[in-house]
């Protein structure tokens, strides 16, 4: 009787392990330890190696940031994937904002995908530049004299300080939406002038340029354009 009992237990264990192996076999899968990556503007980095169940012969990795035909694929230009390991890396030129990276692992028989949201965040910066009063359709940014410091502080405060010996300065706030930065500040004139700046933050150089004037339109553009500005990330 004991022999039958032991055989029954053994049969149970074999069946249990067999079922467990069948359940774990599943299909090709790939997973990263982060589904959301938060990166500071103009910092480079990389992910850890993903966890992959190849289900047999090891395959290769590919990736894209194309979520619609109108998108610009960042993979191969500023975001890169190691085809053998699946490690994702990026350089300082990734544009500000959120970008979805779709990774595909491909074996001889199957494919699997993983999605990562890459958020490139601007927190603060120190810039040197200035303003001009060119309101033409093709303004001359090269005519701008670098006579002003622009300080964008973490928390949303902004300060402008003249470096040409004048007593000009300005205080205000800044906000960012993707690569578009909007600045509202008051000058130290009497009475103060309320100025708005709307410009693009370039990841390739760290520069910030756009239009300045008074008033902000509903589409987040300068209502009364008085010129352009250009600042270089110091």
Residue with tokens 């340029």: 209
Alpha-carbon distance values, 24 to 49, 60, 105 (Å): 21, 22, 18
Average pLDDT over the chain, rounded to an integer: 89
Contacts of 153 (CB under 8 A, 6+ apart): 124, 159
33: containing domain? 27-121
Q: How many domains does the chain have?
A: 2
Q: Count the neighbouring beta carbons within 10 Å of the beta carbon of residue 201.
A: 25
Reply yes or no on whether the pLDDT at 165 is more than 70: yes
- Percent over 70 (pLDDT), the chain: 88
Co-location of 156 and 72 in the same domain: no
Co-location of 129 and 228 in the same domain: yes
Co-location of 92 and 129 in the same domain: no
Reply yes or no on whether the pLDDT at 139 is more than 60: yes
Q: CA 192 to CA 129: how far, in whole Å? A: 21
Co-location of 151 and 211 in the same domain: yes
- Evaluate whether residue 8 is within a structural domain: no
Specify the pTM: 0.79
Report the range of poorest mean pLDDT among 11-15, 185-189, 228-232. Answer: 11-15
Q: CA 74 to CA 39: how far, in whole Å? A: 15
Co-location of 130 and 113 in the same domain: no
Q: CA 119 to CA 179: how far, in whole Å? A: 12
Six-digit token string for 168: 């000009």
Predicted pLDDT at 26? 64
- The per-type count for the chain, helices as H runs and strands as E runs, is 1, 17
What are 101-115's pLDDT values in tens digits? Answer: 999 999 988 999 999
Residue at a domain's end among 51, 86, 121: 121
Predicted pLDDT at 14? 40
Contacts of 142 (CB under 8 A, 6+ apart): none
Question: Do the beta carbons of residue 215 and residue 224 sit within 8 Å?
Answer: yes
229: CATH: 2.40.128
What are 30-87's pLDDT values in tens digits? Answer: 999 999 999 999 999 999 999 999 988 899 999 999 877 777 899 999 999 999 999 9
- Kind plus residue range of the DSSP H or E element containing 25: helix 2-25
- Kind plus residue range of the DSSP H or E element containing 19: helix 2-25
């Amino acid at each position: 009787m004991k022999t039958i009992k032991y055989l029954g237990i053994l049969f149970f264990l074999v069946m249990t392990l067999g079922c467990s192996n069948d359940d774990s076999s599943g299909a090709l899968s790939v997973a990263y330890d982060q589904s959301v990556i938060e990166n500071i503007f103009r910092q480079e980095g990389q992910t850890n190696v993903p966890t992959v169940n190849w289900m047999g012969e090891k395959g290769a990795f590919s990736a894209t940031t194309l979520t619609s035909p109108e998108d610009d694929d960042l993979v191969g230009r500023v975001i890169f994937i190691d085809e053998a390991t699946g490690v994702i890396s990026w350089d300082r030129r990734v544009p500000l904002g959120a970008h979805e990276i779709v990774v595909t692992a491909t074996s001889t028989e199957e494919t699997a995908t993983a999605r990562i949201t890459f958020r490139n965040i601007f927190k603060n910066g120190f810039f040197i530049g200035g303003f001009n009063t060119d309101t033409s359709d093709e303004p001359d940014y090269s005519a701008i004299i670098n006579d002003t410091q622009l300080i964008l502080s973490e928390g949303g405060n902004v300060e402008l300080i003249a470096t040409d010996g004048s007593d000009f300065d300005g205080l205000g706030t800044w906000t960012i939406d993707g690569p578009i930065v909007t600045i509202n500040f008051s000058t130290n004139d009497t009475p103060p002038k309320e100025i708005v700046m709307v410009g693009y933050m370039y990841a390739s150089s760290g520069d910030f340029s756009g239009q300045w004037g008074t008033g902000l339109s509903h589409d987040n553009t300068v209502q009364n354009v008085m010129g352009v500005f250009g600042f270089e990330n110091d």
